[in-house]
Structure 1
Amino acid sequence: VSLVLTGCSLLGRDALLTVLQVPAQAWGGASAYLTVILLGIPLTMLYNMEAALLRAVGNSVTPLLFLLFSSVLNVGLDAAFMGPLGLGVRGAAIATVLAQGISAVLGVVYILRGYPELRFTPRQLGAATRRAVTSMFWAGLSMGLMSAIYNLGSVALQSSINALGSVYITAQTAARRLAELYFIPGGALGIGVATFSSQNLGAGRRSRIWQSVKAALAIYFVWWVFVMAFTFLLGGAAIRGITGSTDEVIISNALLYLKISAPVIPPMAVLVILRNMLQGIRHTVEPLLASGLELVGKVIFAVWLVPVRGYRAVCFCEPTTWVVCFVFILLAVWRCRGDLRDAEKI
Structure 2
Amino acid sequence: MQSSLKNKNRDSALGTDGISRLMLRLALPSVLAYLINVLYNIVDRIYIGHISSEGADSSLALTGLGICLPIIQLVSAFSAFAGTGGAPLAAIELGKSELDPSARKTAQKILGNAAFMLVIFSVVLTSFFLVLKTPVLTFFGASEKTLPFADSYLSVYLLGTICVQFSVGLNPFITCQGHAKTAMISILIGAVLNIILDPIFIFALGMGVKGAAFATIISQCVSAVWIVSFLCSKKSEIRLTFAILRPRFAIIKKISSLGASPFVMQATESAIFVVFNSGLQRYGGDIYVGAMTIMQSVMQIIFIPTQGFANGVQPIISYNFGAKKFERVKEVIRKMLFVNGIITVCLVLSASVFPTRFASLFTSSGEILQIEQKLLPVYIAGLWLMWIQNSAQTTFVGIGNAKVSVFIACLRKIILLIPLALVLPKFFGVEGIFFAEPIATTCSALTSTVLLIRAYRKM
| TM-score range relative to shorter protein | 0.7 to 0.9
Measure, in 2, the Cα distance between the counterparts of 1:59 and 1:221.
26
1:64-75 map, 5 Å: 64-75=184-195
**Which shifted more, 316-325 or 215-224?**
215-224
Who is 1:312 aligned against? 431
TM-score (norm. length: structure 2) = 0.67
Q: CA deviation at 1:131?
A: 4.5
- Please tell me whether the aligned partners of residues 174 and 180 of structure 2 are also in contact (alpha carbons under 8 angstroms): yes
What do residues 67-112 of structure 1 show as CA deviations (whole Å, max 9, x unaligned)?
Answer: 2232221122110111121212111111111111111112222333
Is 1:332 matched with 2:455? no
* Counterpart residue identity of residue 264, structure 1: G
Q: CA deviation at 1:39?
A: 2.9
- What is the aligned length? 337
- Please tell me whether the aligned partners of residues 231 and 240 of structure 2 are also in contact (alpha carbons under 8 angstroms): no
Is 1:297 matched with 2:420? no
* Counterpart residue identity of residue 192, structure 1: G
* Counterpart residue identity of residue 174, structure 2: L
Who is 2:404 aligned against? 286
Who is 2:338 aligned against? 218
What do residues 240-263 of structure 1 show as CA deviations (whole Å, max 9, x unaligned)?
Answer: 342022x2x421321333312444
Measure, in 1, the Cα distance between the counterparts of 2:246 and 2:126.
30
- Please tell me whether the aligned partners of residues 74 and 99 of structure 1 are also in contact (alpha carbons under 8 angstroms): yes
Change (3 A) 1:316 1:124: closer
Percent of aligned pairs sharing the same letter: 23
Who is 2:441 aligned against? 322
TM-score (norm. length: structure 1) = 0.86
Q: In structure 1, the residue corresponding to 2:179 is in which secondary structure?
A: coil
Structure 2 stretches of 5 or more lacking a match?
1-120
Measure, in 2, the Cα distance between the counterparts of 1:143 and 1:229.
27
- Please tell me whether the aligned partners of residues 171 and 183 of structure 2 are also in contact (alpha carbons under 8 angstroms): yes
Q: In structure 1, the residue corresponding to 2:384 is in which secondary structure?
A: helix
What do residues 222-250 of structure 1 show as CA deviations (whole Å, max 9, x unaligned)?
Answer: 223431442244432332342022x2x42
Structure 1 stretches of 5 or more lacking a match?
342-346
- Please tell me whether the aligned partners of residues 146 and 287 of structure 1 are also in contact (alpha carbons under 8 angstroms): no
Measure, in 1, the Cα distance between the counterparts of 2:312 and 2:348.
24
- Please tell me whether the aligned partners of residues 200 and 208 of structure 1 are also in contact (alpha carbons under 8 angstroms): yes
What do residues 195-245 of structure 1 show as CA deviations (whole Å, max 9, x unaligned)?
Answer: 332222211112322322222222222223431442244432332342022
Q: In structure 2, the residue corresponding to 1:113 is in which secondary structure?
A: coil
Is 1:86 matched with 2:206? yes
Is 1:260 matched with 2:374? no
Q: In structure 2, the residue corresponding to 1:25 is in which secondary structure?
A: coil
Q: CA deviation at 1:184?
A: 0.7
1:1-346 map, 5 Å: 1-121=121-241, 123=243, 131-132=250-251, 134-163=253-282, 164-245=284-365, 247=366, 249-293=367-411, 294-337=413-456, 339=458, 341=459
**Which shifted more, 229-238 or 95-104?**
229-238
How well do the aligned residues superpose, as a CA RMSD in angstroms? 2.6
Change (3 A) 1:73 1:126: closer
